[in-house]
Structure 1
Amino acid sequence: MFCRSAAVSVISLLSGLLVLAFIYLVKLKFDLYKLGKSKRGQKNTQPGFYSLHDDVSGFPNKFFLQQQSEQLLLRAPEQSYSLLLIKISRFAQINQLLGHSNSNLVLAQIAQRINDQLETTEQALTFEFRQQHPIRLCHLGGVDFAVWLDSSDKPHLAEYLADNLEKNVPEAMIVHGCTVDYRPQCGIAHYPEHGSQLNELLERAYLALQHHSGLQGKSQVFTADMLHYTSDRLALMAALRQAITDGQLVLYVQPQIDMQSRQVLAGEVFVRWRHPTKGLLAPAEFLQLAEEMGVIYPLTQWVLNEAVSMMATLKQAKLDCKIAVNISSKDLLHDELIDSLEQLFDKYQVKPQQMMLELQESALLANPPKAMSMLQRLHRLGVELALDDFGTGFSSLAYLRQLPVQHVKVDCSFINELHKSDMHSAITGAIIDMARNLSLGVIAEGVEEVEVEQKLLRMGCSRGQGFLYSRPFELGGFAVWLKQWQQNETKSP
């Protein structure tokens, strides 16, 4: 009896110990689980590589810059610093042309090129090293980059770097047979002069960049008067809307000449604005802004009406000459463009063949399928088409072959130095040869000297435009000028 009771007691004891051991193991496992979860939570709260770097380019991001700049300002608030902001212009067209994945690769390559230019700039904040090379460029997102500089000993270092980047970095890339052209544009803000926080400095640097890119030749450095720049731009566009209805706009014209026969083939029109207080404004002073702020379409409608009206005047005077009009990318993508042109041709009883529309390469890349469709509709309508500033943008031979254009215009930047620069001569010759192989006419802009004219003729280009023939003058006098030109050429031996 005793033995049986003792055995039962031992078994009960062992069972109890097993239960306690099981409970202990369960509790231990639960504690370890909580500890692991706690550690994982702590790890996620600390910045890792992906939280400090842009996922497109792999370069340090704005959060990394914020972190590092705050530490610098805490350690040495008396120092002078400069924030150099860099924006890659024309990148929307690159994205449309190459697609999202390829454009991301291009952007990463551009970022690397900029960082390479900073290799010897020890005053630039170094975020990290990769293969013993310093990483000094920050990718703010999109197409915006930044460099943080210690400018205590070199107060104009940021300006020097900005000029160097704008001039030396934009070397064209060849991607899938396309020449990818891009432009870095810079804006600069100084600490503590222009702000004490990173966001404030970025805002001022953005204003400086807009001012610099919108008004060519202006400094990249922020100044207090730029704070009023945005409001001035809005006021200017409001005034432009009113100017269209108040008759403040006027068209000028410059003839395009057959350099062999001396016949006037077309007249390209340019809009001018007789501003009541600013005087006569050239297109560069308001057209780009009008496109950015949505005023370009009513302006284009006014220009087209005046141009077609002149076509009717020339027809009545029995003068055979086309009128050429520049249209923007937003004009080209506007569905009502075709309808409004048809209405104008019907109203003035003129043929579409007497009009030439000139558009830049960038206009085709904002929305390639839509642009191609619109060009084909214009071609079917009978309007002549010319690609303006050819050779300065995204020149793709494969893409050009698909366009229903009849002419390309060689940019005046090549023509002006044609007889002085072997490089410009070679580029112009290549463009002319390519155009002729595609059965396209070539129009040379900026012909100012007889020597240039003769060289163009030898190259195979027969149509020219420039001061050698006429400076732009008011369109209202075009018919009289045309008659006088014809009479003078008839009398010439």
Structure 2
Amino acid sequence: MRWSLVVVAFLYVVPAAAATQTDVLPWWAFAGFIGLSLLCAFITVLWWRARQPLPVAAGHEPPFHLLHDEISGLPNKWLVKQDFQIFITSRPQAQLALVLVKIDQFERVNQLLGYSHANLVLSQIARRLNQAAAAHQGILPLSSEDAFVAHLGGVDFLLLVDQQGKQHQAGYLAHQLEREIAEPLLLRGCAVDYRILSGISLYPQHGQDFSELVEKAHLALQQRLLHATDSPLYQNEMSATTPDKLAMMAELQQAIAAQQLQLDVQPQVLLPDRQVVAAEVLLRWAHPVQGLLAPKQFIPLAERMGLMFPLTCWVLQQTIQMLATLQKEGIVLQLAVNISSSDLLQIELAEHIQQLLAKYQVKPGQLILELKEEALMTEPDAVLPMLQRLRALGLVLVLDDFGTGYTSLGMLREFPLQQVKIDAQFIGGMHKSDAQVAITGAIIDLAKNLRLDVVAEGVEEQPTAEKLARMGCVRAQGFLFSQPFALDGLPAWMRQHQFNQTGA
């Protein structure tokens, strides 16, 4: 406001002073200067009024849309922050938990349904979450009618939980809500699958500022996604590791272009004659600072960032190209690629593989896809159609690390599998544990009854290989036969292996 007064004074006083000195300034010039001054002042007042907050009459609340999310209709972050401050001010000894709830991988819903329908799904999930929260004691009602959940924006929601001296109250409620609202939604007759995850921070243990506590709940949720942990509670060491993780996430985005990813292979042999029939392709990251990283050190990051499918496509392209090279040299071999649960939910996966096989003129039966139990069990109804499409192409489907998860006999019958791969933890203990031998034997018998071939992983000793052969195991993989080596060296390794076998 001050600068407008200066302008008015300048426009009025300067010409007046000039007039007194010259006495020749016409009257219309004075009128023009005065009019311009008044116009400038008027515009300034309008600008100043526009920058002021909207007036709120005494005893009245701000308009609804200022304190509620447009899509869900739930209270927004401003209202829940206000409620948080009121609660801790009125109860100095309060123990409060902030439960941050996120809809995971909601971008898939956007891609499949479009933003307008995705917003409808989002509003339905928000309504379901609020209804579930209302049914639990300990979740504080917000200062908005029938609201127990705040919508922070995007796919993030927040609940305030009165711990009431119960240390694990918030964690228990968070897990309960995750289970209760996990049922698919129906939209125009179509089932829409989703899942929610939560992160928790505690007042006053983790801080007293609302924004700080929300950020720490975010960190807890991120760590849960990155490391597949079950605990949603923030830990102090999470803050220390986050910058490193964020840096690695940025570096991973550039890893493919910078040619830092590399592929190794480990052969599989038939038992008992050790004829090489396949090899598993293993992804590694040659990090410029940290050295060679195993998949478990960066695959969770790729999953979280939405980079898993681009990585898988790159691995598939390299693998199928190698199959074409082997085929031209007259080497008959299958190559196995690991496929994640998120890969199976990509509708273009089967078409992409089909195009690569056609481009390099590779027979589909030469490509094996290895699937983790969790990939099948997370969303079985969603992945089954994709598995059926992949099998219809002629690909070989293998259940990897069998015995470590919760795949039931009925599920094994339903999925179009050709092989099961016994996890190395069972194979490694066979030479010293009768129980491990019994478990392995039961898995082999189960697979044989379902007409599935069995691959034993982690075979390191000759007696173990001989025992597996007697039990009916068809294939084996492990250090006894070969350590992993670079994919580019596979043709030369195969020629040498064939020469050694012929010479023997």
TM-score with structure 2 length normalisation? 0.59
Letter in 2 for 1:236: M
- 2:305 paired with 1:293: yes
Alignment of 1:17-56 (within 5 A): none
- 2:173 paired with 1:139: yes
Name the structure 1 match of 2:476. 464
**Distance in 2 separating the partners of 1:274 and 1:283:** 11
Quote the offset at 1:366 in angstroms. 3.7
- 2:232 paired with 1:223: no
Name the structure 2 match of 1:275. 287
**Distance in 1 separating the partners of 2:169 and 2:305:** 37
**Distance in 2 separating the partners of 1:485 and 1:268:** 17
Residues 1:276 and 1:304: Cα distance change in structure 2 (over 3 Å): same
Name the structure 2 match of 1:43. none
Quote the offset at 1:136 in angstroms. 11
1:445 aligns with one of 457, 474, 495: 457
Quote the offset at 1:242 in angstroms. 2.1
Quote the offset at 1:370 in angstroms. 3.4
1:484 aligns with one of 492, 496, 500: 496
Quote the offset at 1:321 in angstroms. 0.8
**Distance in 2 separating the partners of 1:221 and 1:259:** 49
Name the structure 2 match of 1:284. 296
Quote the offset at 1:302 in angstroms. 0.7
Letter in 2 for 1:222: Q
1:333 aligns with one of 345, 348, 351: 345
- 2:446 paired with 1:412: no
Q: Alpha-carbon deviations, 1:460-484, whole Å to 9, x = none?
A: 1131111111111100001111121
- 2:431 paired with 1:397: no
- Could you tell which deviates more after superposition, 442-451 or 232-241? 232-241
Quote the offset at 1:275 in angstroms. 2.0
Does the CA contact (< 8 Å) of 2:336 and 2:370 recur in 1? yes
What are structure 2's unaligned runs of at least 5 residues? 1-83, 105-162, 180-196
Does the CA contact (< 8 Å) of 1:237 and 1:295 recur in 2? no
- 2:284 paired with 1:250: no
Q: Alpha-carbon deviations, 1:98-154, whole Å to 9, x = none?
A: xxxxxxxxxxxxxxxxxxxxxxxxxx97659xxxxx999742355679xxxxxxxxx
Does the CA contact (< 8 Å) of 1:253 and 1:270 recur in 2? yes
Quote the offset at 1:406 in angstroms. 0.5
Quote the offset at 1:380 in angstroms. 1.5
Aligned length: 354
**Distance in 2 separating the partners of 1:388 and 1:284:** 15
- 2:322 paired with 1:310: yes
Letter in 1 for 2:274: R
Letter in 2 for 1:483: R
Q: What SS does the aligned partner of 1:261 have?
A: coil
Quote the offset at 1:214 in angstroms. 4.1
**Distance in 1 separating the partners of 2:171 and 2:376:** 32
Letter in 2 for 1:322: Q
**Distance in 2 separating the partners of 1:82 and 1:425:** 51
Alignment of 1:185-224 (within 5 A): 194-196=206-208, 204=216, 207=219, 211=223, 214=226, 222-223=235-236
Q: Alpha-carbon deviations, 1:313-349, whole Å to 9, x = none?
A: 1111111110110111121121211221121112111
Quote the offset at 1:399 in angstroms. 1.5
Residues 1:313 and 1:225: Cα distance change in structure 2 (over 3 Å): same
Residues 1:294 and 1:488: Cα distance change in structure 2 (over 3 Å): same
Does the CA contact (< 8 Å) of 2:272 and 2:466 recur in 1? no
Residues 1:193 and 1:266: Cα distance change in structure 2 (over 3 Å): same
Does the CA contact (< 8 Å) of 1:259 and 1:462 recur in 2? yes
> Considering only aligned residues, what root-mean-square deviation do their CA atoms show, in Å?
4.5
Residues 1:191 and 1:374: Cα distance change in structure 2 (over 3 Å): closer
What are structure 1's unaligned runs of at least 5 residues? 1-65, 91-123, 129-133, 146-184
Residues 1:144 and 1:339: Cα distance change in structure 2 (over 3 Å): closer
Residues 1:347 and 1:423: Cα distance change in structure 2 (over 3 Å): same
Q: Alpha-carbon deviations, 1:292-331, whole Å to 9, x = none?
A: 2210111111101100011011111111110110111121
**Distance in 2 separating the partners of 1:415 and 1:403:** 25
Quote the offset at 1:237 in angstroms. 3.2
Quote the offset at 1:372 in angstroms. 1.5
**Distance in 1 separating the partners of 2:252 and 2:307:** 8
Does the CA contact (< 8 Å) of 1:84 and 1:188 recur in 2? yes
Quote the offset at 1:265 in angstroms. 1.2
Does the CA contact (< 8 Å) of 2:225 and 2:300 recur in 1? no
Residues 1:188 and 1:447: Cα distance change in structure 2 (over 3 Å): farther
1:345 aligns with one of 357, 378, 385: 357
Q: What SS does the aligned partner of 1:382 have?
A: coil
**Distance in 1 separating the partners of 2:199 and 2:384:** 35
Residues 1:195 and 1:333: Cα distance change in structure 2 (over 3 Å): same
Residues 1:221 and 1:333: Cα distance change in structure 2 (over 3 Å): closer
- 2:296 paired with 1:262: no
**Distance in 2 separating the partners of 1:371 and 1:135:** 35
Q: What SS does the aligned partner of 2:480 have?
A: coil
Name the structure 2 match of 1:9. none
Q: What SS does the aligned partner of 1:246 have?
A: coil
Q: Alpha-carbon deviations, 1:33-78, whole Å to 9, x = none?
A: xxxxxxxxxxxxxxxxxxxxxxxxxxxxxxxxx9xx979x956x9x
Name the structure 2 match of 1:22. none
Quote the offset at 1:192 in angstroms. 6.2
Does the CA contact (< 8 Å) of 2:420 and 2:453 recur in 1? yes
**Distance in 2 separating the partners of 1:374 and 1:216:** 24
**Distance in 1 separating the partners of 2:339 and 2:371:** 6
**Distance in 1 separating the partners of 2:459 and 2:423:** 10
Alignment of 1:89-100 (within 5 A): none
Does the CA contact (< 8 Å) of 1:205 and 1:222 recur in 2? no
Does the CA contact (< 8 Å) of 1:125 and 1:136 recur in 2? no
Residues 1:372 and 1:136: Cα distance change in structure 2 (over 3 Å): closer
Name the structure 1 match of 2:66. none
Q: Alpha-carbon deviations, 1:332-373, whole Å to 9, x = none?
A: 121211221121112111111111111112222343233211
